[in-house]
Amino acid sequence: MRIAKLAAGAVLAMALAGCQNLIPQEMSVSDYCANPEKSQENVCRLKVEIDGQTTALSDTDMRLSDARGVADSASDAAARAQATADEAMQRANAALAKTDEMVCETLTVQKTDTGTCRPGYELTSCTQTRYTERAGGLSFLREINNEKCRFNERVLEMQVRCCNTASAAPQPEDATIVEDMPEPEAEPETPEDSPLSF
């Protein structure tokens, strides 16, 4: 009886040792994917980047258990990316389905360095439209955001374009606004010294 138990234990140990070689987790990916029945599985079709080189996972000597982890994480990342893309597509379709039109107005602002929009509108552009040498000539646009635009100095005239959706903005009106910003002081002209002056 004792010999029978010992023999049964030896047979069981040999069977387990033989099965150990058949467990795919310890097999390399290239060996596993060499089987034509397994070649279409995700782990065999996945490509990875190793040291800047794109390589098929089936061409590596990675253990199958590690490769399955890589393939599963790649599948999870792809599923999350698809879900994000589906959500973005739904938002884009909802935005396209809106019938709310864009309304804009142009304000002409004179003799100032700053242009703003009426409440309910957002600034979209700001352009200097008239200038003279006396008023300072061309000015540089120093700041522009959704609320205001600002030139480096006073300009004779600028056009401020303001827009918003029809449901969120008041009725558009184009207007001319004259600011009473003080005139720049004229520099006194000094006569040039000439060696020929009398």
81-93: pLDDT as tens digits: 999 999 999 988 8
Report residue 19's pLDDT band, with 50, 70 and 90 as the boundaries: very low
pLDDT value at position 190?
60
pTM reported for the whole predicted model: 0.41
DSSP, collapsed to helix, strand or coil, labels residue 3 as helix
- Strand 102-116 relative to strand 47-50, pairing: unpaired
Quick check: helix, strand or coil at residue 81? helix
8 Å CB contact between 178 and 112: no
Name beta bridge partners: 164.
103
Determine which of 67-71, 85-89, 175-179, 183-187 has the lowest per-residue pLDDT on average.
183-187
Q: Each residue of 103-131: pLDDT tens digit?
A: 899 999 888 889 999 888 999 999 988 87
Q: How many C-alpha atoms does 181 have within 13 Å on its Cβ side? A: 17
pLDDT of 102 over the 50 cut: yes
Task: Using the structure block, give the residue that is written with the tokens 């009473």.
Answer: 180
Q: Where are the alpha helices (DSSP H) in 34-190?
A: 42-45, 64-97
Reported as a pLDDT band with limits 50, 70 and 90, residue 138 is: confident
